[in-house]
Amino acid sequence: MRPGRDWLLAAFDCQPALLLGRSTDVLAANVIARALFADFAAVPPGERNYARWMFLAEDARSLFVDWEVRARAVLESLRLEIGADRRDRGTAALITDLRAQSAEFGQWDERRVHHRACRAIRLRHPPVGDLTVDCETFTPAADPDTTLHVYTA
């Protein structure tokens, strides 16, 4: 992580912000994103992955009101990545692993792809209750393999 990225995430003090890399690896999350979604900082570095969390963590399944819609979007995003670079062993290994561990991941064998874009996400957050957050995504020109996701309520 470049220091500028850390400062940028910290500047979003009222909005959750996640920085995802290839294969939806969670590169960084600000304090409020860790409170809203999951404490990715507590996860071992090699396992900090949004898709892995989405498909394998019970807290993700209970957090998203429309978990199936959100999970499919993550799967379709991975398909887009692997389609763009068939030699990407990291994404291919993640897909193989999730196929083996998640019944839903293996069942959704459609050929749709999804580009990470703006969307409204409905949550059922344990301490807060039901809420909808909007997500805006940004891909830095200097680092096209990363995407900044900023959420507003």
Residue 9 sits at φ, ψ, to 5 deg, of -60, -40
Burial class (CB in 10 A: 0-12, 13-18, 19+), 105: buried
pLDDT tens by residue, 45-96: 888 999 999 999 999 999 999 999 899 888 888 878 776 667 778 888 888 8
Q: Please give the C-alpha separations between residue 69 and each of 17, 39, 75, in angstroms, as whole numbers.
A: 21, 22, 10
Assigned CATH class of 3-152: alpha beta
The rounded distance, in Å, linking the Cα atoms of 10 and 17 is 9
pLDDT at 119: 79
Give the residue extent of every domain in the chain.
3-152
